[in-house]
Structure 1
């Protein structure tokens, strides 16, 4: 029986709209089959020679006398064959017996009149020729009908009626079946069915991060003729009681459109700036006024896929979603929900999800009511009242089971030509059929259109009016009142694992969680910390993505890109060619970190990591070891003491870290820098010093020879070159040793910074100077030049310890955990 009811419901929903666009169904179990069925119906109709559209059925419910005694069906017929059709006509058909069950009602709705409606009223009043439509591409309106007495209607109930189009040969070219409810005169023979509406205010996902919209659909939905505007207006105009189920993400998005300076809209690779749009604020005010005196409950923010989150151990995200939902509702509507209800996506959830909804704040302290689909309970005939219970770890809890068939009927697309008439007539027939199943038994029914219901113009308002005006319905109740009634025993069937394929999958959620972890890292550096991406992550976990895989991937990528752009606002300013050159084997190169985030102060730490065995990192300055606070637009420069074991290129990494002291909490991607080391500085000094010494010695030798030659010449001995006696020679020009030595080039101070010594701090490059050079002989005498002064002896180099080539990381707080690049655990202050 249950299988039959489901199949019949799907067929009935398909019959409601023959040429409609694909709907977004509340129940993921049916959306693919329903989509295929509707597509097949459209393809079939496109091949029809004649299209038939019903534009009205009057009256909506019939009576035995007066205007209500005549049933008329209006519509239009169009010849699409491209040729004239001889004898084209339309005929009214009926079946004089009332429908006996909801299952039969569904079968009739999906059938052609000629197959299920054998009766045609006598005479020619029920048939009308269509000469205007008979010509090629012709179109003509019609009205056909008959009296209730002529059709033999006597008993309260639902009766199928319809019209069909045929040619001169009697060949049926098309038809539609609908229903009329007959209500006898006099005292009612039934107990009116109490009906309550859940009025959903939800939408799709329209933003990546909080500042960037991925489409402009919400601007249309809250515009003057938009979907959400029609829903709010319908409830406000009719006064029919409804219980509002609001996704606060819609309110949040509506406020974001009105941001000062406008908002960003990204489409593909193009981002444009949209002007400030106040339509969302106008709509929000209308919602606030319409819902002022009605019951209201929150969906968790962005309507996350609760079942998928619980299945994949992410149930605590529901707590975050409810927290954000309550914050937004309080801020935008200046009110808090006045009823406690939890409505899982599609009204289906297992025990684990139900328990998590209680823990997460959907139903605090174990009180409140679950809103569940009737398909989660065993089918019973006649239809049972909505109040029931579901099992939880805290025991049975109250639930209302909304009627899935009715909800599907009103959720069907009613915007295409003729669809509204079929939806409205089927709604009246279905509620009358429930009443007629057990006319003497008072019962309740709850109707919950799907989350993103998009009724045609005027349809929502008319459905609410029918709820108040139909003789077999009593709308003077609410879902909250129904929930307080005595529960009916409706066996709960639990959540089927077959539904899992419609949920957000493991890989999808893993990709979202990867973004979430990066977002938490970004939050950690903000001063003060702000959950700027918390709602963005919730939007990515929305049940909206269940049947929209390609769009979800695109939205996820956009969010990831936006987050990367924001995180890159705190970055290391790279030197040219990503390279730092040392004048020797050691130095203190400067690394610059910039905060380019607009309006956000950040706090972070620095870690420097050697990736080459021959490069050692020294101790950072105290100010660089602590948490660094950097205002927007500012830069911080850190001097990094490095020492290379010889000439060549060495690798090091600058890694920014969060300031919280969490072990291994890196921020962003590491920045790799090449350190180029050379000993040319010291070698150049040695070569230059040696060259000067040789030059000075040469000049001294030449000077002494010249002096001797002058002395010899003065004495008259041409062979000796000695000048004449008595000539005063120049003062001796011996050169003393340097004496000062050349200091080591190392930028490292001596001390424990590099255990074991480095050979750079033990002494100067040259030792103390030797004795001074000899003086020239006394004036007037040919004395020998004194001995040349000794060059300054090379002093002993500093003792060289065994170099520790392991990478060294400094600048972190004590107790930091392992870095992804490894850590040296040697001496470190």
Structure 2
């Protein structure tokens, strides 16, 4: 109940601060992501939304001294601004206060919810005419003796009194105001100072997804100037006597080291694929040095798990592996490398200080296995019996990991110090409320030694100077005693009931769908790592932890972008180890058998891999693939190397057949990457190629023979002996009466084809002269000379004889016809080789007058032989008869 009232108090107090910029301290503890110590995750936003905006904004700029004493002069300063949008006449500012001391934290909550005009006693009033105009602004100040306030003495404990400032218009209507508290210290005191231990988180929202590219460039600003992280380190350095325990996220130091040591790449806003290069940050290097110095002396530190993953969501999703990885020294040692010494404290701090049994079990198992304590919010613990003051030390019983000591931090103080103090007037309000809250705690049980732990939100962003002031007040206020966390941990544990995890918090966790998508990336990254060989320089372990950080609870859209960026980076790097294919993903197989080539390439920078290459035919009935030789399937590839393997293939017919190619992890056999190509079988094998080649060889030989014969003929003609140089003109020996091995021609007169008896147009048949010479007589003996019959063509025409017995080839004499008489006389103009052999009683076959190529090919003037017909004797006549039979 007290926690709920405190939230209501903040709700009423904060909106009055803003000057022209809305409610002053909206979202006091943080955001809707359930920051550490929030009373109810998300309720911190409600105050600014629920209350209407005042016409005149009021901001406090100074309240002193701290604390007040009997002889002090109260000095309150501030500024007022008209934000109504129109002029307001007669504006005045007036002080109001209460005289009775507040003795409980619930009273503080109640008065903090009041507007200034509800305080009972009015004080001085001043006109602020400059603020009357629309947008007008004017500073103001009240100074008065404490004795003039007539405050009721608090006794022997610190006293806390409400003080407010209200703005009135000419009709004395309240148009603005703000309420705060002042602390009064009496001369005589009797109480035990409250031991206060500070935990300062050095963590941030994740700035990288993968290792190489930053999602934004905010980090450089946070570690320089008045940046959040720079201010925190400066606050501790300025207060060396106030013990502080740092809670350091190694991922933050990892990021700072990156921007301090090298130029780095940042995603361009609005363009997910383009980056810009940023020069390394000198401020980041200086910040690391300052942190190293600020962690010395009375200050201690412990490490959060790397990137502070959402352990609650992971445990709920039954994936506690990332929790173990985040606590592993190989990831947390980044902090010890920067600080220069190992952590001197060990605490397990669940996200936002609350967790269920499974989460506590996992945190104890991986974070407290060497000893240590939990650090949790008091929201997780039940109220103590009436009259028993709460202390910061207790114990928690886990399901499987035993009992562990627990430090319980105060959620109310966390809400106060984690409020948006950067709003106008926020610093003063936070300081005054902090002093008032701790003073009341000291007065609640003055004879009991109280302990407090303050652990602001992990992304605590105090106004410049505020963190240093709070540490200074902790050391300087007489009702407080700055104490190291280790001393509080050693105090006697106070039994406290551990409440069940509030189901309302679940909606602020990373969702199961998001974690499943990250797990899918992790599986791909594991397959990638499995194929790498030592030394391994590529790892996505930390990148995966970063995208599972609890800091993404408050920024779901940025979390999604980080996950998408990491997924794209993993896919891009995995594609550097690939099977090289053509654009159309096709390969040819000549014939029914052969080999299919496959090329594997590694373009990773500085990383060698080992893969197993597997090829599988999709249609084994049509295409079967053999195995590679032993040892060839496992391939070692250095950076930039590629190799080729040939898979034996046997095809059953022509066609296109799909082949699945896979790169696998040689150890587990898991598929790393795969692709499908199409093998096209053409059916032209070795035998077909040999036949085709043989045919071409015969063709070339034939052409060569013709060239040789032509050359011989030209030489004979040049010699002038009337011979073609290919045979004798004399009568041959008696033959057997059958034609030679050559086939008869068509028997028609020269048509330009061999064996044709038809002369070409304009030519005179040589046979006419022969007919007028003398009729053929009886054969005196066998006909001599070769047969001039050619190879019959499709219509019975003779073609060039390339066989024995063809005219012009020596030693190919064909026998004459049986019973043939002597050869007919050869006309003087005819070549002896052209004389036909006449059958008994038959006239000589007429022949064309032009010369022909040997073998019956037509000569230049279309004749069938060198100087006569393309066929001799009966062979020619038989060709003529066959030609007629075909007509």
User: Which band: TM-score by shorter chain?
Assistant: 0.7 to 0.9
User: Which one of the candidate residues 39, 46, 59 is aligned to 1:36?
Assistant: 46
1:80 counterpart residue number: 83
Q: Distance in 2 between matches of 1:503 and 1:211?
A: 27
Do structure 1's residue 262 and structure 2's residue 267 form an aligned pair? no
1:161 counterpart residue number: 163
Once the two structures are TM-superposed, the CA of residue 110 in structure 1 deviates from its matched residue by 2.3
Q: Distance in 2 between matches of 1:632 and 1:717?
A: 97
2:675 counterpart residue number: 671
CA contact (8 A) 2:38 2:44 kept: no
Once the two structures are TM-superposed, the CA of residue 276 in structure 1 deviates from its matched residue by 2.2
Do structure 1's residue 129 and structure 2's residue 127 form an aligned pair? yes
2:311 counterpart residue number: 306
Alpha-carbon spacing, 1:13–1:228, altered in 2? closer, same or farther (3 Å): farther
Q: Distance in 1 between matches of 2:13 and 2:129?
A: 33
Q: Distance in 1 between matches of 2:306 and 2:436?
A: 36
Q: Distance in 2 between matches of 1:721 and 1:461?
A: 146
Q: Distance in 1 between matches of 2:447 and 2:565?
A: 58
Do structure 1's residue 386 and structure 2's residue 425 form an aligned pair? no
Once the two structures are TM-superposed, the CA of residue 726 in structure 1 deviates from its matched residue by 6.4
User: Which one of the candidate residues 433, 438, 460 is aligned to 2:440?
Assistant: 433
2:121 partner SS: coil
Alpha-carbon spacing, 1:81–1:159, altered in 2? closer, same or farther (3 Å): same
1:301 partner SS: coil
What pairs with 1:241-256 in structure 2 (closer than 5 Å)? 241-256=243-258
CA contact (8 A) 1:382 1:437 kept: no
1:223 counterpart residue number: 224
Alpha-carbon spacing, 1:783–1:216, altered in 2? closer, same or farther (3 Å): farther
- Of stretches 139-148 and 426-435 in structure 1, the one that deviates more from structure 2 is 139-148
Residue ranges of structure 2 left out of the alignment (5+ in a row): 18-22, 707-738, 748-753, 756-766, 792-802, 818-887
Q: Which has the larger radius of gyration?
A: 2
What pairs with 1:269-280 in structure 2 (closer than 5 Å)? 269=272, 270-280=274-284
Alpha-carbon spacing, 1:93–1:261, altered in 2? closer, same or farther (3 Å): closer
2:679 partner SS: strand
1:727 counterpart residue number: 784
Q: Distance in 2 between matches of 1:634 and 1:491?
A: 63
Once the two structures are TM-superposed, the CA of residue 19 in structure 1 deviates from its matched residue by 2.6
Q: Distance in 2 between matches of 1:317 and 1:783?
A: 106
What pairs with 1:623-702 in structure 2 (closer than 5 Å)? 625-660=632-667, 662-663=668-669, 665-668=670-673, 670-680=674-684
1:415 counterpart residue number: 422
1:50 counterpart residue number: 56
2:471 counterpart residue number: 464
CA contact (8 A) 1:523 1:530 kept: no
CA contact (8 A) 1:54 1:421 kept: yes
User: Which one of the candidate residues 137, 140, 150 is aligned to 2:138?
Assistant: 140
Alpha-carbon spacing, 1:500–1:6, altered in 2? closer, same or farther (3 Å): farther
Once the two structures are TM-superposed, the CA of residue 545 in structure 1 deviates from its matched residue by 1.3
Q: Distance in 1 between matches of 2:343 and 2:13?
A: 33
2:201 counterpart residue number: 200
RMSD: 3.5
Do structure 1's residue 327 and structure 2's residue 333 form an aligned pair? yes
1:794 counterpart residue number: none
CA-to-aligned-CA distance 1:229-286 (integer Å, 9 cap, x gap):
1000000111111011000100101111134453343543322222222332221111
1:174 partner SS: strand
2:584 partner SS: helix
Q: Distance in 1 between matches of 2:779 and 2:699?
A: 26
When normalised by structure 2's length, the TM-score is 0.76
CA-to-aligned-CA distance 1:535-593 (integer Å, 9 cap, x gap):
00001111011132111111100100011110011112112421112222332132211
CA contact (8 A) 1:213 1:266 kept: no
Alpha-carbon spacing, 1:691–1:318, altered in 2? closer, same or farther (3 Å): closer
CA contact (8 A) 1:211 1:256 kept: no
Once the two structures are TM-superposed, the CA of residue 150 in structure 1 deviates from its matched residue by 2.4
Q: Distance in 1 between matches of 2:774 and 2:16?
A: 139
Do structure 1's residue 281 and structure 2's residue 279 form an aligned pair? no
Q: How many pairs does the alignment contain?
A: 725
- Of stretches 408-417 and 259-268 in structure 1, the one that deviates more from structure 2 is 259-268
- Of stretches 613-622 and 49-58 in structure 1, the one that deviates more from structure 2 is 613-622
Alpha-carbon spacing, 1:783–1:2, altered in 2? closer, same or farther (3 Å): farther
- Of stretches 401-410 and 484-493 in structure 1, the one that deviates more from structure 2 is 484-493
Once the two structures are TM-superposed, the CA of residue 727 in structure 1 deviates from its matched residue by 3.0
CA contact (8 A) 2:253 2:338 kept: yes
- Of stretches 303-312 and 330-339 in structure 1, the one that deviates more from structure 2 is 330-339
Q: Distance in 1 between matches of 2:76 and 2:290?
A: 37
CA-to-aligned-CA distance 1:326-349 (integer Å, 9 cap, x gap):
321232222211111111111112
2:471 partner SS: helix
Q: Distance in 1 between matches of 2:6 and 2:774?
A: 138
CA contact (8 A) 1:77 1:139 kept: yes
Q: Distance in 1 between matches of 2:113 and 2:628?
A: 81
Once the two structures are TM-superposed, the CA of residue 191 in structure 1 deviates from its matched residue by 1.2
1:175 partner SS: strand
Alpha-carbon spacing, 1:184–1:695, altered in 2? closer, same or farther (3 Å): closer
- Of stretches 371-380 and 319-328 in structure 1, the one that deviates more from structure 2 is 319-328
Once the two structures are TM-superposed, the CA of residue 683 in structure 1 deviates from its matched residue by 6.0
Once the two structures are TM-superposed, the CA of residue 692 in structure 1 deviates from its matched residue by 11
2:348 counterpart residue number: 342
CA contact (8 A) 1:191 1:472 kept: yes
Q: Distance in 2 between matches of 1:616 and 1:195?
A: 79
When normalised by structure 1's length, the TM-score is 0.81
